[in-house]
Amino acid sequence: MTKGWQPKAVALDIDGTLIDHDESLSPAVVDAVRRTAAQVPVILATGRSWQTTRPVAELLGLPDGGLVVCSNGARTLRYPDGEVVDERTFDPSTVIRSVRKHAPNARMAVEEHDGGYLVTAPFPDGDLGTGAGIRVVTDEELAPEPVTRLIIRDPEQSEADFVQLAERLGLHGVSYFVGWTAWLDIAPEGVDKSTGLKVALAQYDLEAADLLAMGDGRNDIEMLVYAGLGISMGAAPDEVKVAADEVTKSVQDDGVAAVLNRWF
The gap between the terminal CA atoms of the chain, to the nearest Å, is 17
159-176 mean pLDDT: 77
Give pLDDT tens digits for 13-25: 999 999 987 778 9
212-228 mean pLDDT: 96
List alpha helices for the chain, DSSP H: 27-37, 50-60, 93-102, 159-169, 193-203, 221-226, 238-243, 255-263
Across-strand partners of 76?
Answer: 69, 86
57-86 mean pLDDT: 95
Q: Choose the weakest-confidence range: 55-64, 132-141, 222-231.
A: 132-141
Provide the pLDDT confidence category of residue 250 given band limits of 50, 70 and 90.
very high
**Calpha distance 259→71 (Å, rounded):** 25
Q: Which residues are CB-contacts of 242 (< 8 A; sequence separation ≥ 6)? A: none
Q: Choose the weakest-confidence range: 167-171, 200-204, 221-225, 255-259.
A: 167-171
Give pLDDT tens digits for 75-91: 999 999 999 999 999 99
Give pLDDT tens digits for 230-240: 999 999 999 99
Question: Is residue 2 pLDDT above 80, yes or no?
Answer: no
141-166 mean pLDDT: 85
Question: Is residue 171 pLDDT above 60, yes or no?
Answer: yes
> Residue 39, CB half-sphere, CA atoms under 13 Å: how many?
13
Q: What pLDDT does 57 receive?
A: 96
List alpha helices for 172-231, DSSP H: 193-203, 221-226
Q: What pLDDT does 70 receive?
A: 94
141-160 mean pLDDT: 87
Cβ atoms within 10 Å of 158's Cβ, excluding its own: 11
In whole numbers, what is the pLDDT of the chain averaged over residues? 91
Q: Which residues are CB-contacts of 76 (< 8 A; sequence separation ≥ 6)? A: 67, 68, 69, 70, 84, 85, 86, 87, 196, 199, 200
41-67 mean pLDDT: 94
Q: What pLDDT does 159 receive?
A: 76
- pTM for this predicted structure: 0.89
Do the beta carbons of residue 189 and residue 173 sit within 8 Å? Answer: yes
